[in-house]
Every structure is written in C-alpha cells, then in structure tokens.
Amino acid sequence: MGVDVLLMRVHQPGTSPRRRRLTEVAAFVDDTDAFARLCTGSGLPMLGRVDPYGSLRLTSVEMDQLTGELGVLQGRVTDATDRRILAEVSELGLRCAADGSTELYFEGD
C-alpha cells in the first residue's frame, strides 16, 4: 500500500497528447508504506489527495502548496525516519518547482 513519488520530465512536441513522453528523473520508493500513512493521516488538502491505491499527477505550478504542506507535516512528526521521508519527498517537490518541464507523480499500489 506504499506510495512511490516519481519526478518525471515531460517531452511533448506539439499539442497532441499522443506524442507525450515521460522520462524518470528521480524517485522516492515507499517500501515501508510510511509515506502513504503520513499522507492519509495528514488532514491537509493536497496530501489528502494522495491515494495509496491510485495515481496523482502534480505540475510544477502546484509545488508551492505541496512543499508547504510537507513542511507543516514535518513539523508535526517526531520520528526521525518520518522526517527523513518527508524531506526526501520535499526535495523532489523543490526540484519539480524549479523546472517547468517536470511533473511529480504519486503512484499507489
């Protein structure tokens, strides 16, 4: 039931979605289901949209809200492992925000 987070570069020459290609740039793999647990119990609007069984795609424009919510959640947790996980996902969000040709994908099981 983990949620993997993938930073993807989008290649889309022209306007046709059929020509859209994605290349993985970086990833966080949620082997222990900890990130999924943190999102579901967060009570925050964007992190609450993360579905442990589905997919969610966010663009670079949405990264300010995402990284803000990750920061709020980081302030709430006391476990060092949870803090490290949130920091890793936040780093992917910051990288996405800095590059408009990328998107962040949350992939549940």
75, containing H or E segment:
helix 63-76
In the chain the domains, ranked by start, together with CATH numbers, are 3-108 (3.40.1760)
Rounded to 5°, angle at Cα 71 from 70 and 72: 90
> Are residues 8 and 102 in contact, defined by beta-carbon separation less than 8 angstroms?
yes
Kindly report the pTM of this predicted structure. 0.93
Q: What is the pLDDT along the chain (109 residues), one digit of tens a residue?
A: 699 999 999 998 878 878 889 999 999 999 999 999 999 989 999 999 999 999 999 999 999 999 999 999 999 999 999 999 999 999 999 999 999 999 999 999 8
